[in-house]
Structure 1
Amino acid sequence: MADCAALLGSALGFATMLAKISDSRLLRAAGFGFANLFRALPELLVILIVYFGLPQMLMALSGQRVEIGPFVAGVIALSLIFSAYSSEVFRGAWRGIPKGQVEAAMASGMGPWLILRRIRFPQIVRLSLPSLGNLWLVLLKDTSLVAVIGLQELMRKAQMATSVTKDPFTFYGTAALLYVVISIVSSAGLQAMERRSRRGLAA
């Protein structure tokens, strides 16, 4: 679930960042409004709104009953939350790109989209990796909240096992250990990605 939410959230966050830096006042207002909304709402509340509210909204629009499973609802909710925070990360990375590089690309005849693809995007990814890594670790922990809508993820299974065996220490302790292991492995992978992204750069 976390990987799906991170991928979707990163894509939506990048689109939100583009809206925030747009010349259009309407797009800027929409981008900042979206990001501020989902950064202000508690994660648990977003999950409940998506799981219970989104089907009713879709039914009102389509006139047909729409059901959203716990997994899909969890991915959507966590993607929205991740995108709100990642949009600020991407915006900071965008501002961190030297203006001289963009001006040189424009002088050589490159268009806006070619500059985005060849100049801006690779550097945005490199500059964003450390902060995105922190957001990823937070996202891993937030997946435990999806248990409230019935998804049998790690914490939900620990709760079910505890209710049967009456041995909370063993199962919650095991869940905690697994979260720590996943976080350590993720951190190592993210550090490797950061080192790889810096290859060829001047020290």
Structure 2
Amino acid sequence: MFDFLRLLSFGPDGWGDEIARGALLTIELALVTLPVGIAIGLGVALAKDSKSAAVKMLANAYTTVFRGLPELLTLFIVYYGGQMLLTRLAGLFVEGASVEVNQFVAGVVALGLVLGAFSSEVLYAAIRAVPRGQKEAAAALGLSKMRVFRLVTFPQLWRVALPGLSNNWMVLLKDTSLVSVIAISDLMRQTAIAVGVTKQPFFFYLIACLIYLVFSAISSAVFSRLEARASRGFRRVGGH
């Protein structure tokens, strides 16, 4: 027991500080990716609700691609493909130029694209759930499309979309473990390094499991509060 506690101690003799830094980087990556993915998803959802057939087709193509590709493959394409593309573009201006993509940024972009694809489905369904008559009435009062969306559509779609977005957040939290393959020192990478050095796979992977479960429990509590706050003034169908 004391040997295991020593393995988790902070300082040169333990792995507590490395595991803590990895856990912090994991949650930072997820928190930075969340608004990126939601913004992409909202844009794609609005495109799907557009009257333009071409815009709808592009939005549907985007969701089909990034919902169909494995997240790990998307990460590789963004990291290595983005590096090659930027190097070639830089080579047009500076001969022999080489561009190295930041791993954290690549992780945010790749996970954001995937989150955006899944969130767009949730947000599109939420947009369609808002009664069209309300939007037409607001437009009849002289409100611009932007004000109709901000004052009428968004507050209602936010309430409807929250449960689905909370599920997407949970998936995102787990998908952050994939970034360890491009040498980001997240929780999984630090855990793997600790396992390699100490030869204690069960102990350290169990600790990683517990940390992810703590993140999930906190996330569930936060989203429950947000859903309760967003639903104030609305009575559930069949409720009392």
TM-score bracket, normalised by the shorter chain, equals: over 0.9
Q: How far apart are residue 199 of structure 1 and its match?
A: 1.2
TM score, norm. by length of structure 1: 0.96
Find the counterpart in structure 2 of residue 151 from structure 1. Answer: 184
Q: How far apart are residue 57 of structure 1 and its match?
A: 1.2
Q: Work out whether 1:42 is the aligned partner of 2:70.
A: yes
Consecutive unaligned residues of structure 2, counting only runs of 5 or more, are 1-28, 92-96
Find the counterpart in structure 2 of residue 72 from structure 1. Answer: 105
The one-letter code sitting in structure 2 at the alignment partner of 1:2 is: A
Q: Work out whether 1:165 is the aligned partner of 2:222.
A: no
How far apart, CA to CA, are the structure 1 residues paired with 2:81 and 2:171?
25
How far apart, CA to CA, are the structure 2 residues paired with 1:24 and 1:71?
36
TM score, norm. by length of structure 2: 0.82
How far apart, CA to CA, are the structure 2 residues paired with 1:119 and 1:190?
22
Q: Percent identity?
A: 45
Find the counterpart in structure 2 of residue 87 from structure 1. Answer: 120
- Runs of 4+ with >3 A deviation: none
How far apart, CA to CA, are the structure 2 residues paired with 1:34 and 1:155?
29
> Counterparts in 2 of 1:176-191, with a 5 A limit?
176-191=209-224
Find the counterpart in structure 2 of residue 21 from structure 1. Answer: 49
Consecutive unaligned residues of structure 1, counting only runs of 5 or more, are none
How far apart, CA to CA, are the structure 2 residues paired with 1:202 and 1:25?
36
> Counterparts in 2 of 1:105-116, with a 5 A limit?
105-116=138-149
Find the counterpart in structure 2 of residue 3 from structure 1. Answer: 31
Find the counterpart in structure 2 of residue 198 from structure 1. Answer: 231
How far apart, CA to CA, are the structure 2 residues paired with 1:90 and 1:62?
37
Cα deviations by residue, 1:132-156 (Å, 9 ceiling, x for unpaired): 0000000000000111111110011
How far apart, CA to CA, are the structure 1 residues paired with 2:98 and 2:183?
20
| 1:109 aligned counterpart, secondary structure | coil
Q: How far apart are residue 35 of structure 1 and its match?
A: 1.0
How far apart, CA to CA, are the structure 2 residues paired with 1:189 and 1:37?
31
The one-letter code sitting in structure 1 at the alignment partner of 2:46 is: L
Cα deviations by residue, 1:99-149 (Å, 9 ceiling, x for unpaired): 221122122121211101110111111111000000000000000011111
Q: Work out whether 1:62 is the aligned partner of 2:90.
A: yes
Q: How far apart are residue 157 of structure 1 and its match?
A: 0.6
Q: How far apart are residue 200 of structure 1 and its match?
A: 2.1
How far apart, CA to CA, are the structure 1 residues paired with 2:32 and 2:82?
19
Q: How far apart are residue 202 of structure 1 and its match?
A: 3.8
Question: Which moves more between the two structures, 158-167 or 119-128?
Answer: 119-128
